[in-house]
Structure 1
């Protein structure tokens, strides 16, 4: 069972923009089924066999609740308060016990080595400091615990997707509250000090060209 006692750390400062925060909550509610249709093959494999209690960084409106076991429990690290009402509603629909914490992933407030599994999808692109987030995930995972992820990443150099990422980087980041489509998260996860990492690259096919290059895998503490 996850120890729910918090540490004395304070949450990293994050204040969602009133307009963009609401837009992103609505966008992921409306576009969720379409994104899920594109990513479900990855998620079914990576999130298979999750333990009953899971920590998720940036769960948004609850797209991944369907992958938790029946009567599961989720500690949700979600700093965008405009997502919260939709996340609560999704947890009720899926019968998941929700412990929602309005914090950033750099400082979850969870004790050292208290968690069996952390999951993320489409989140490391938008955190302020992905290296700090990966360090925090390692800190809270028990030895042998797993970090399971499905993330969109920078495309290979010289490809049309890479060119689109470069051209659209600023409007993309502004619209999606700091989301970068140019992060080499493949390297970041491998360099984060996990005991082992299993990872694959994938391409999905959506009209959102900068979004279409992905990694999916599991890192073990």
Structure 2
């Protein structure tokens, strides 16, 4: 485990996730694109992203923009750098966890994330960190998967797969009430739209997309 990031890159799981999202990312993106296009519309020239992975969201930045990428999984870094170069994005890669970005108070206009808050150790701490680094009027734009309602078949499947799913996907939890955490995180305004994916990744359902403002 890195003393700096507090994140341990598993010798098998880290490279597997980098390869998996490189191959399957475009498939997942087909279901998420219209929601991302809405919440990521009009991104400024400098954006902070939590868990940039292999660069799935670079397409939503204008060429010549700067992405401050908070990405502790070193197995993702080579693919992320290559993707940033292809998209014409200046990459400021930070090998840190989302709970401790190292950014100054009130120094950021926009933070984005997608399919990341499910994997962090402490999502409430991450949201507090986002509020800390955002300047007044700043936005946190997100597309995340959340727990299905209790008693539904999807929730039963999420619970049944909890341990193997979490181990495979870097601690990913399918049972987090991220909408509730966002609404209780102290943002001035939180707008959330729930939706469902159409595809084979049933534990990824349901999803939320939205914007939180300071």
Calculate the TM-score normalised by the size of structure 2. Answer: 0.97
Distance 1:32 1:161 in 2: 22
Aligned 8 A contact 1:79 1:104 in 2:
yes
Aligned counterpart for 1:207 among listed residues 177, 181, 200: 200
The corresponding residue for 2:61 is 68
Calculate the TM-score normalised by the size of structure 1. Answer: 0.94
What is the DSSP-based 3-state SS (H/G/I as helix, E as strand, rest coil) of the residue aligned with 2:144? strand
The corresponding residue for 1:134 is 127
Distance 1:126 1:19 in 2: 17
Distance 1:176 1:198 in 2: 28
Of 207-216 and 138-147, deviating more is 207-216
The corresponding residue for 2:50 is 57
1:1-221 matched pairs, under 5 angstroms: 11-221=4-214
Aligned 8 A contact 1:11 1:108 in 2:
no
For structure 2, the residue ranges without an aligned partner over 5 or more in a row are: none
Misfit runs of 4+, over 4 Å:
none
- Write out per-residue CA displacement over residues 70-110 of structure 1, whole angstroms, 9 at most, x where no aligned residue: 21100000000000000000000000000001000000000
What is the DSSP-based 3-state SS (H/G/I as helix, E as strand, rest coil) of the residue aligned with 1:26? helix
Shift, 1:177, TM fit? 1.2
Aligned 8 A contact 1:54 1:75 in 2:
yes
Shift, 1:11, TM fit? 4.3
Shift, 1:128, TM fit? 0.7
Distance 2:26 2:159 in 1: 27
The number of residue pairs the alignment matches comes to 212
Of 63-72 and 73-82, deviating more is 63-72
For structure 1, the residue ranges without an aligned partner over 5 or more in a row are: 1-9
